[in-house]
Structure 1
Amino acid sequence: MEFSKSFNIQALVKTIKEELLSDNNDPYSFIAPSAYDTAWLAMVPDMSEPCQPMFKNCLDWVLNNQNVEGFWGEYDGHGMPTIECLPATIACMIALKRWNAGEMIIDKGMAFIEANAEKLIGEIYDSNCPRWFAIVFPAMVEMAQINGLEIIFPDRIKRVEMSIFYKREQILEREELVDKYHYPPLLSYLEALPALYNFDQEDALKHLHADGSLFQSPSATASAFMATGNKDCLNYLQTLVQKCTNGVPQTYPMDEELLKLCMVNQLQRLGLAEHFNQEIEELLEQVYRNYMNRESWPKWTNSMATQLYKDSLAFCLLRMHGFRVSPWMFCWFLLEEEVQDQIESNHEYFSSVILNVYRATDLMFPGDHELEEARSFSRKLLEKTTSMGNEDQHTVPFPSFHSVIKHELRFPWMARLDHLEHRMWMEEKNSSGLWMGKTSFHRLSCLHNDKLKQLAVKNYEFRQTTYKSELEELTRWSKSWGLSDMGFGREKTAYCYFAVAASTSLPQDSEIRMMVAKSAIVITVADDFYDMEGSLDDLEKITDAVQRWDATGLSGHSKTIFDALDSLVNELARKYFRQHGTDITNSLRDIWSETFASWFTEAKWSKSGFIPAAEEYLETGMTSIASHTLVLPASCFLSPSIPDYKLNPVQYESITKLLMVIPRLLNDIQSYKKEQKEGKTNFVLLHLKENPEADIEDSIAYAREILDKKKKELLEHALMDGFNDFSKPCRHLHLSCVKVFQMFFDSSNRYDSNTEMFQDIQKAFYIPVEVGAPKPLPPHPGSKQRYPTVVASYHFNQRYKNRIIRLAANSVVSHPISGNPYMKMPMAPKLKFCFM
């Protein structure tokens, strides 16, 4: 069974590499075509035969790509239309009506609008209707009426419809065609400007780009060409249609390097990067070379949003993969007050870009003051975005965006575990959205996104199967050594394994996961024994036994703990000897002896009432937290492994020392109240005692200041070469361990709770991924599959079988161009053979 699952995953990986990551593939196929812009090109008449469309393939696309529910445009991840589909659907119907094509398709589109308009726009009011929608939607309704399509909305939303039209009037009165306060400029919506609007053809011509486009917008350029007949506009449109044969994007040309970066980002967010390491590294190396050769920072242009999105995404991916890049790679926008004003004035439009900027600032190193400024700027705008309209999802570019932003703002990147982050992105219904365009989001193509999600789900479920099996094995091990039935303290077998499994991404690292989880169980039990169960005499005996590594004189709980520890150390030493031919038994014993000695020191302080200096406490506490005891032995089994002498306290690398102090500070910030009641020492309390003029909040702030500095240092040491002799896998294991402790102690002490982690563990190991209702199968390229006779020939599945037969039983099939009926007959008997 496991072999079969793995084989299916590898087969999908191979397909995706061939279809998406091959150098021979067209990057534009990665982006979903824009129904709205394709419809506008379909409206352009042929100059020599004005009764015929100039771009017939665009009209054919409109004919062939109506969704089964009757609309044009993209589904969200749950198979539902979005508000973006309303103007796109009306534009497509106008294009068909203009050429007397697809009468039945138009009727189906009208039925969709009648049935769904209230749901899609019913909650939009004047105060929070998106600017782009207020410009485009009224224009499409008016154009439909001019072309003989009477779109009638239910009386229940008449007031909303009127408010949208009123907002359009306000925009037209207030905004210049092109000004520095509104983005995208009003002129980029040329096709949606009313006929009576004060518009001069020269306004359009003087803003043409060198490639002949109007703000690189196919729809606006099509409108400009129909109004002016400009040859440069025509050349642009012809080039566009030749390049994009299956529907046009809403921006052309697009930055092909950005499209590839988006693909890498999607692979990482879905937890698939492990399958594409070589392809990702090769692409990022090329991106890095291009940025290093860039002669100057970007200047203000009308593609500023796309440029900032790309630069912040590239910075994030490059720094995460160990490339040394300056924050100015994307923080250039901080140097231009005009750019910041544009972003603040149009924060709704820039929200996806600003979210990307905020994510990039997660990777902050010491001295990155530009990132601190960018983080403050972006966080302020994101908070403003989420505050507008409360939970009204129409105040932001696409539904559920509130939840995405709030997740980013609420949970620090350091506190998130990869496995659950991958699941969240799979289940996010708008994960195909990339960045905001003129009238909708640039999205992954449905076909590619579905394949990626299919692979991601299979990959996640394969991990779940692996993790469940390992947790069962670990539970048996814990019981066999008596560690889960000690009768005191915390039984955290599931917590320990969850933390390890959810923070690392490779199923083949089973050996690493198991040894870290076993060590964590021993640490938890032994730490509780020192804290709450053992007498000082008991603790002295077990500490001495571990120093000598001799169980003589031990009994009861002490003997149980030592025996389990001895077995674990011997198991690891044997494995290492088989792999490397070197005996590391003494090195492993030394690191455990150091840890037990620190616990004993703290126990003596507690039982005697001795209060150490804060510095002395921290020196002992960074050992007693035992994070290095988890990571360093496991690092011996990574490839390449660390040398065994790195287990010696004298030889600890700076990254290991940072790993030791950060969890201690995290723990102490969250547990000072509990430890104050129990009469124990704590860094926050000790700082308060040594600084009588301070209050508890001052002490917490002081600890957080140190913690923030140490986390930046560790992040730099983990991601960049040159700070230590550790390999990248070893450094990343240090980082994963810190993220686990940050997750446990981010806003409370989750490790001590018996319930707070339950749901996360269920999602990580047991609950199937929920990716929403299945979407209709994607169109077959070039097919006429929207007609029953052809649909049946492509989709041999039960879901379509009954639907098609019911439809065909009373079907009038229209000619695909003229819209005239050419067949009326009961078709169900003739279709049944398709499903035999």
Structure 2
Amino acid sequence: MDLSSVQSSIQSLVNEMKEEMFSSNCDPYSFISASAYDTAWLAMIPDPHQPSQPMFNNCLDWVLYNQEDEGSWGEHDAHGVPTIECLPATLACIIALKKWNVGTLCIEKGLAFIHANMEKLLRETNNHVPRWFAIVFPGMVELACAVGVRLVFFPRSNGVVLELFNTRQQILEKEKDADTFQSLPLLSYLEALPASYEIDEDDIIKHLSSDGSLFQSPSATASAFMATGNKHCLAYLLSLVQRCDGGVPATYPMDEELIKLCMVNQLFRLGLAEHFVHETEDVLAQVYRNYMNQESWAKPRNYSVAAQLFKDSLAFQLLRMHGYDVSSDNFCWFLEHGDIRDQIENNHEYFSSAMLNVYRASYLTFSGEYDIQEARLFAKKLLEKPTSSSLRKVVEHELRVPWFARLVHLEHRMWIEERDSNVLWIRKASSHRLSCHLADKLVRLAVRSYEFRQSVYKNELEELQRWSKDWGLSDMGFGREKTTYSYFAIASCCSLPYDSDIRMMVAKSAILITVADDFFDMEGSLIQLKDLTDAVQRWDSKGLSGHSKIIFDALDNLVREIAKKYLQQQGRDIINNLQDLWYETFASWFTESMWGKIGSIPSMDEYLETGMTSIATHTLVLPASCFLNPSLPNSELRPVQYQSITKLLMLIARLLNDVQSYRKEKDEGKLNSVLLYLKENPEADIQDSIAFVREILDKKKKEFLQHVLMDGYSDLPKPCKHLHLSCLKVFQMFFNSSNRYDSSTEMLQDINKAIYIPIEVGNSKPMKHLPRQTGPKKESLTINSYFNRPSKHYMSRSLATRQISWPASRDNGLGKMFILPKIRFCFT
């Protein structure tokens, strides 16, 4: 593969995406997939002056031109597969076409899709049908049957359908007289409520928002307008159609800042942020200004709590991760409101994406932030409940694998392959999603970028394997051969901008550390270990032979290679600093070997002081940090003078290793912090000891994270601090739930996915576009143009007899309201 040509094609696509996503004239609404369901409802509205014609022809045209090849309308996942949302959306589009007697073939294809896929899609919910679906789908079934659409439900499906009607009835009875909203109020589903659910016109008007909408729902507002003829509803609908011109979103107006936050988050999740550094920085800087100015930051209303909590926790997560000083109060506010907590607990399905973001935000907890810990426990409890949410696989991943244990390269792959990676946030009927057109482009770019990395990594790993073999490190005859593991770890924990030299020097250092550590643990005699340690101290291999000579020569070559590169780049010689750093590490290994071989038992303090050094994380990150931009000052390489962030990394890595290695080390007659606690506390058992160490780990990780993310805690440049974080994540990954580093098989799948196996992505389908209009330009739609020209009066009525307004004649405005007949399903 010609990597330069691949890189050029990636950059070309990046430039195209920058223009599409971040240019000054781009419309954030274009990033969000249009709602077929809501567009169909606008298409149903008759023109009050020509009731035999639709008021919004462009919405009807959108329905005609945006049916998928398999016959559905509505939401598809990131791989182009229909979701449960397609069922009510497809029925709504069929109803709209049937109303205007157009699209006969589209109607037939839509019905074929419903009959062929309903059982399968419902089965995928695992018997946990969302509340919104239990309300909307029966309503669309009733309305479709009422207008003469013949729905055929096969025997295996009829029980499911009848159960949905029963569930809806239970929801209606339970929530009709509820004093507080249990997510979105029933009135927000006005268009789908049965005729038996009595709502009068005054009740609708009382609940209209200041913008004329019914809970910012285009479909509910369309139904409200057809029921009342309210001019404020019409103004809202006209504004919506002018803004979107065709397919309309499921919520209007949308929070444009939230859209931008979601786009930035999507770039990070797909591994594309390195291509959009300045663009994402600009968005986050603007978000931070608004975030800190609460007057310009939207406040939640009863029916928008989920969206607001989603936004607040996402903003907190992105801002804190990028060094902004933000308070936990900005998203933990819900904990102080018992009614909101009850609302969330009673509707965990609807709040699933908000709670997922709260849980993710809790990864970034600093010391003393007890409210975030409370929010984390609250969110975790709800996320553990069974759900039909499209994000259930993502939720399972979030709960199973701690954030500290995730390597970014593999996380990027997971999101690229995730079917629902285009889901953004919850709306009235399931989720807002990225537009198919944009999602498809981003995934294609992400795949190319990921596979480019794989090609780079494959070449570098082959070079590293040759180096390891040439210096005799891969065939020592004892211990662990971890050339591939070492390279996989550094390549997968850091983004590609870290150049090849850094990856190679860290990987070579890790290989040497593993070989030397095993030599001290299991192979060398005390005399051999003393000779090797002394040789490293004076940096002279005289008197060494065998394994000791191989280790020293490889180390000498690596140190001289690093020092030469630094001298060429920075003009300063750091060879003495590097030698001192390595000697300190070898001396700690010798001390631990002495303890084990002569049976000496150190105190906990003595053990940790030595163990922090022997884990050798500082030996990995500090030399590499000298080559970052901006780089680590060479003075930081001096032993004993390490900053707090480096000392915390050393301690955390040691304790992580100890928790998973105590059984092995007990069998080998060695000590670690878990075993030492038992010796110093005879009344404790092993679980007490592990809990003690984990408590220290939890505290120190919070402290460490504060040093990494916030200014004022460490003088190290930001890239150096983030390299420290990457190193910690590697150790957490290796020692999260077992000692994966010592396993010869447990890491193989991850290694293959990171470097060798091509990425697996289904083909998402771009949305079809309407043909360019020709001829005279349509009259601009305005509220005045409708209410100032002669028209027939609008009919109002008791909503006990309503479902939708059909044009009965040219003389009755919006038309007569009909009473729904009893629904007769055709069961075959």
Shift of 1:276: 0.4
Provide Cα deviations, 1:235-271, integer angstroms capped at 9, x if missing partner: 0000000001130000000000000000000000000
Task: Select 2:753's aligned residue among 754, 758, 763.
Answer: 763
CA distance in 2, matches of 1:123, 1:245: 34
CA distance in 1, matches of 2:299, 2:337: 10
Query: Map of 1:135-146 to 2, 5 A cutoff?
Result: 135-146=135-146
Asked whether the equivalents of residues 440 and 765 of structure 2 are also in contact (C-alpha less than 8 Å), the reply is no
Shift of 1:345: 0.4
The TM-score normalised by the length of structure 2 is 0.92
Provide Cα deviations, 1:691-742, integer angstroms capped at 9, x if missing partner: 1221111111111111111111111111111112211100000000000000
Task: Select 1:604's aligned residue among 594, 604, 622.
Answer: 594
Report the residue type matching 2:638 in the other structure: N
Asked whether the equivalents of residues 124 and 160 of structure 1 are also in contact (C-alpha less than 8 Å), the reply is no
Asked whether the equivalents of residues 64 and 783 of structure 1 are also in contact (C-alpha less than 8 Å), the reply is no
Report the residue type matching 2:536 in the other structure: V
More deviation, 30-39/716-725: 716-725
Q: Residues 181 and 252 of structure 1: is their aligned pair in 2 closer, same or farther, counting only changes over 3 Å?
A: closer
Residue 626 of structure 1 pairs with residue 622 of structure 2: no
Residue 681 of structure 1 pairs with residue 690 of structure 2: no
Aligned to 1:374: 375
Shift of 1:107: 1.1
Asked whether the equivalents of residues 318 and 325 of structure 1 are also in contact (C-alpha less than 8 Å), the reply is yes
Residue 2 of structure 1 pairs with residue 14 of structure 2: no
Asked whether the equivalents of residues 466 and 507 of structure 1 are also in contact (C-alpha less than 8 Å), the reply is no
Shift of 1:508: 5.2
Shift of 1:404: 1.1
Q: Residues 647 and 34 of structure 1: is their aligned pair in 2 closer, same or farther, counting only changes over 3 Å?
A: same
Asked whether the equivalents of residues 78 and 436 of structure 2 are also in contact (C-alpha less than 8 Å), the reply is no
Aligned to 2:639: 649
Q: Residues 249 and 4 of structure 1: is their aligned pair in 2 closer, same or farther, counting only changes over 3 Å?
A: same
Aligned to 1:218: 218
**Other structure's SS at 1:51 match:** strand
Task: Select 2:454's aligned residue among 460, 464, 488.
Answer: 464
Aligned to 1:530: 520
Aligned to 1:778: 767
Residue 716 of structure 1 pairs with residue 717 of structure 2: no
Shift of 1:184: 0.9
Query: Map of 1:531-570 to 2, 5 A cutoff?
Result: 531-570=521-560
Residue 396 of structure 1 pairs with residue 397 of structure 2: no
Aligned to 1:803: none
CA distance in 1, matches of 2:116, 2:298: 49
**Other structure's SS at 1:52 match:** strand
Task: Quote the sequence identity (%).
Answer: 67
Aligned to 2:652: 662
Asked whether the equivalents of residues 31 and 444 of structure 1 are also in contact (C-alpha less than 8 Å), the reply is yes
Provide Cα deviations, 1:409-466, integer angstroms capped at 9, x if missing partner: 1110000000000000000001111112111310000000000000000000000000
Shift of 1:522: 0.5
Aligned to 2:121: 120
RMSD: 1.3
Shift of 1:783: 6.3
Aligned to 2:316: 315
CA distance in 1, matches of 2:422, 2:571: 50
* Structure 1 residues without counterparts, runs of 5 or longer: 389-394, 785-836
Shift of 1:651: 2.0
Query: Map of 1:158-557 to 2, 5 A cutoff?
Result: 158-176=158-176, 179-295=179-295, 298-384=299-385, 388=386, 395-398=387-390, 401-506=391-496, 509-557=499-547
Q: Residues 682 and 508 of structure 1: is their aligned pair in 2 closer, same or farther, counting only changes over 3 Å?
A: closer
Asked whether the equivalents of residues 178 and 186 of structure 1 are also in contact (C-alpha less than 8 Å), the reply is no
**Other structure's SS at 2:424 match:** strand
Aligned to 1:131: 131
CA distance in 2, matches of 1:246, 1:285: 33
The TM-score normalised by the length of structure 1 is 0.91
Aligned to 1:640: 630
Asked whether the equivalents of residues 298 and 332 of structure 1 are also in contact (C-alpha less than 8 Å), the reply is no
CA distance in 2, matches of 1:397, 1:221: 26
Report the residue type matching 1:338 in the other structure: D
Asked whether the equivalents of residues 32 and 443 of structure 1 are also in contact (C-alpha less than 8 Å), the reply is yes
Asked whether the equivalents of residues 178 and 185 of structure 1 are also in contact (C-alpha less than 8 Å), the reply is no
Provide Cα deviations, 1:73-126, integer angstroms capped at 9, x if missing partner: 12213322111101000100110111111111111111111222222225668x
**Other structure's SS at 1:58 match:** helix
Residue 741 of structure 1 pairs with residue 742 of structure 2: no
Asked whether the equivalents of residues 177 and 187 of structure 1 are also in contact (C-alpha less than 8 Å), the reply is no
Provide Cα deviations, 1:463-495, integer angstroms capped at 9, x if missing partner: 000000000000000011000011000000000
Q: Residues 123 and 261 of structure 1: is their aligned pair in 2 closer, same or farther, counting only changes over 3 Å?
A: closer
Q: Residues 177 and 209 of structure 1: is their aligned pair in 2 closer, same or farther, counting only changes over 3 Å?
A: farther
Count of residue correspondences: 771
CA distance in 2, matches of 1:383, 1:155: 33
* Structure 2 residues without counterparts, runs of 5 or longer: 774-828
CA distance in 1, matches of 2:553, 2:500: 23
CA distance in 2, matches of 1:34, 1:582: 61
Query: Map of 1:692-703 to 2, 5 A cutoff?
Result: 692-703=682-693
Aligned to 1:830: none
**Other structure's SS at 1:442 match:** strand
CA distance in 2, matches of 1:609, 1:544: 22
Shift of 1:654: 0.4
Shift of 1:299: 5.0
Aligned to 2:813: none
